[in-house]
Amino acid sequence: MENTAERKKIVLSAIQPTGTPTLGNYLGALKNWKNMSKDYDCLYAVADLHSLTVRPEPQALRRQTLEMYAILLALGLDPEENIVFIQSHVPQHAQLAWILNCSTQFGEAARMTQFKDKSEKHPENVNVGLFTYPVLMAADILLYQADYVPIGADQKQHLEITRDIAERFNTVYGNTFKLPEPFIGKVGARVMSLQDPMQKMSKSDPNPKGFISMLDEDNVIVKKIKSAVTDSEAKVRYAEGKDGINNLMGIYSCCTGLSYEQIEKDFDGKGYGDFKQAVAEAVVCELRPFKEEFKRLMADKAYLLECAELGAEKAAHLAQRTLSKAMKKTGLFML
């Protein structure tokens, strides 16, 4: 009889420890990580190797890596149920990345918009790591034979190149890697800056009023939402040209589960002041349990280190299986 006992699908994602994540990172990616953890076998990583591409100050990187690890656990991810780890603790990522570099064309890496954006923004440090960044990301994903990768819309192109690299490798050497699918939420996939709703909300925005950090105090969240840029129509409705209101509606919908239609109905005849107040309250409520848990975890460093060690061990075990397979297929001489 055919074995119908379905194995759970595998989910992998990662986030760079480049600062406290924003509401954009949360609604676009991290909230889905938590939701998916109930139904899938999930692996979540702090992508510290990726963040070296922007040359962070070493002490800051060390601190931010542990903070980001605590942030992931504070989302409510159970370190026993999910594999939560720090990328550089699993050397197989860098090893597979090298092999995949040799299955990636220079031209396709050069077309990545993130590479073009980052090299324009930081012309003083256009390093080769920045160029091969998507190949390391492909290794992160392919090592675990991931089915789904929850990401924000800006990472879609990196998922496409991951699939292209995997497909090419499979064609040349025989079936080795599963082709992963992106998982991009319908709302929240692109949260925009509160000050310039044409730009994505980003933790590296020099104007802190543009983003809400996941660790902002309640009163700061309220202030930032109240000063969000809107328009002069004074009607809460989702429509072209109303980028500020559309963005707030997206945020509100993500936090409350209400549809745009319902939101429009609820705020019919009310002004932007009332709406902003409601959005602010919803965001404060959404982030409060997370912030409390984060504080608690940061006070227990020994526990964090224990979880990180366990996560690395479990991840390395799975990663080695795929790495060995890829090494064998390419003809690397194995003992």
Task: Give residues in contact with ligand LTN (CB under 6 A).
Answer: 12-16, 47, 50, 137, 140-141, 149, 151, 155, 158
Token representation of residue 45: 């990583």
| Closest separation in Å from C-beta 320 to ligand LTN | 18
Residue 202, interface with ligand ATP (CB under 6 A)?
yes
Q: Identify which of residues 165 and 201 has a Cβ nearer to ligand ATP in the complex.
A: 201
In this chain, which stretch among 15-23, 62-70, 175-183, 306-314 interacts with ligand ATP, using CB under 6 A? 15-23
Say how many Å lie between the first and final Cα of the chain, rounded: 37
In this chain, which stretch among 22-30, 235-243, 292-300, 318-326 interacts with ligand ATP, using CB under 6 A? 22-30
Residue 162, interface with ligand ATP (CB under 6 A)?
no
Identify whether the C-beta of residue 77 lies closer than 8 Å to the C-beta of residue 84: yes
Residue 178, interface with ligand ATP (CB under 6 A)?
no
With CB under 5 to 8 Å by kind, the binding choice for 203 among ligand ATP, ligand LTN, none is ligand ATP
The closest residue (CB) to ligand LTN is: 14
**H or E segment to which residue 63 belongs:** helix 58-74
Q: Identify which of residues 97 and 212 has a Cβ nearer to ligand LTN in the complex.
A: 97
With CB under 5 to 8 Å by kind, the binding choice for 161 among ligand LTN, ligand ATP, none is none
| Closest separation in Å from C-beta 108 to ligand ATP | 20
Identify whether the C-beta of residue 326 lies closer than 8 Å to the C-beta of residue 96: yes
Residue 29, interface with ligand ATP (CB under 6 A)?
yes
C-alpha–C-alpha distance, residues 264 and 259, integer Å = 9
| Closest separation in Å from C-beta 12 to ligand LTN | 6
Q: Which of these is catalytic: 9, 156, 178, 203?
A: 203
Contacting residue, 45, 165, 201, 214, with ligand ATP by CB under 6 A: 201
C-alpha–C-alpha distance, residues 48 and 289, integer Å = 26
Contacting residue, 151, 228, 282, 308, with ligand ATP by CB under 6 A: 151
What residues have CB less than 8 Å from 207, skipping those under 6 apart? 195
| Closest separation in Å from C-beta 154 to ligand ATP | 5
| Closest separation in Å from C-beta 107 to ligand ATP | 24
The question of whether 328 is a catalytic residue gets the answer: no
The question of whether 329 is a catalytic residue gets the answer: no
With CB under 5 to 8 Å by kind, the binding choice for 230 among ligand LTN, ligand ATP, none is none
Nearest-10 crossing angle of helices 128-142, 113-121: 140
Residue 270, interface with ligand ATP (CB under 6 A)?
no
C-alpha–C-alpha distance, residues 228 and 195, integer Å = 6
Token representation of residue 122: 């930081």
- Cα distances (Å, whole numbers) of residue 75 to 26, 78, 138, 303: 9, 9, 25, 16
C-alpha–C-alpha distance, residues 186 and 150, integer Å = 12
| Closest separation in Å from C-beta 93 to ligand LTN | 9
**H or E segment to which residue 181 belongs:** strand 181-183
Identify whether the C-beta of residue 49 lies closer than 8 Å to the C-beta of residue 88: yes
Q: Identify which of residues 65 and 155 has a Cβ nearer to ligand LTN in the complex.
A: 155
Identify whether the C-beta of residue 1 lies closer than 8 Å to the C-beta of residue 191: no
Residue 49, interface with ligand ATP (CB under 6 A)?
no
What residues have CB less than 8 Å from 224, skipping those under 6 apart? 194, 209, 211, 212, 216
Residues labelled catalytic: 118, 200, 203
